[in-house]
Amino acid sequence: MRRKLIAGNWKMNKTLPEAVELAGELKKQVGNVNDVDVVLCPPFPMLFSVGEIIKDSNIKLGAQNLFWEEQGAFTGEVAAPMLTSVGCQFVIVGHSERRKYFGETNQTVNRRIKAALKFGLTPILCVGETLEQREAGSMETVVTTQVKEGLADFSADEVAKMVIAYEPVWAIGTGRNATPEQAVEVHSLIRELLKSQYGADLANKFRIQYGGSVTPQNANELLQEEEIDGALVGGASLKADSFAAIIKAGELLSHA
């Protein structure tokens, strides 16, 4: 069984005092978890402070995005060396909200992944279809294109350092999660793509998370699926008790 990865994407939420309080509470509740990997992804202004709180725990720090250049005249952007300098080990790349609101494409996502890998960050590549695309029967084409173009020109060794998160756009923030069967279908598709391009050994070890209205109520049935290697959690990661419950569900399943 692949080791579960549970990441909390705080999106554009929490002031600094609120972020510090949440990180402190999570450290108390799940800071010693050993059987799953836990990542917190607060907004950029809170990264350093949250990192200071969790640095002597088993919780890791992640960012929500990065730019592909190392430095320069790119007002409002954040570079990979900046993220590593405050303790980040993970970074979310290509989230559907970045694609929808800020014009990110598979090609710019690819460039961001290159920057992340160059500086030792583990990219979490987000892929997923909209409701319209699913209802039109184009889910497979959309996800396949996002994976292939997002990973274009990477070697197997580089791909092995990544994570993919399947996030059906129609399930993000809607309270409507994909059923385990729907999630497994897409995770299996992604794994077969990896297998065909990079070999069975890499594909079998590769972690594919599910994201999209993950809650303490549905975490167990999602995470118990062999194809689902963790969760990228949005709204439920903004409260310590609910995020801790999801993490503990993953921890229990690792002992099953």
> If you search the block for the tokens 């049935």, which residue do you land on?
221
User: d(Cα 140, Cα 129) in Å, to the nearest integer?
Assistant: 9
- Could you read off the pLDDT of 225-234 as tens digits, one per residue? 999 999 999 9
pLDDT of residue 256: 64
Closest C-alpha to 206, from 181, 233, 228, 180: 228
- Could you read off the pLDDT of 79-136 as tens digits, one per residue? 999 999 999 999 999 999 999 999 999 999 999 999 999 999 999 999 999 999 999 9
Cβ contacts of residue 28 below 8 Å, gap of 6+?
Answer: none
- Which backbone phi and psi does 94 adopt, to 5 degrees? 75, 25
Closest C-alpha to 96, from 135, 142, 40: 142
206: its two tokens: 């590769």
User: d(Cα 182, Cα 115) in Å, to the nearest integer?
Assistant: 32
User: d(Cα 131, Cα 227) in Å, to the nearest integer?
Assistant: 22
pLDDT of residue 45: 98
User: d(Cα 42, Cα 238) in Å, to the nearest integer?
Assistant: 10
Number of folded domains in the chain?
Answer: 1
- The residues of the chain scoring below 50 in pLDDT are none
pLDDT of residue 173: 74
What residues act catalytically? 95, 167
pLDDT of residue 234: 95
80: its two tokens: 């990979």
CATH of the domain at 85: 3.20.20.70
Are 36 and 6 spatial neighbours (Cβ–Cβ below 8 Å)? yes
Structural domain range at position 113: 5-254
pLDDT of residue 254: 78
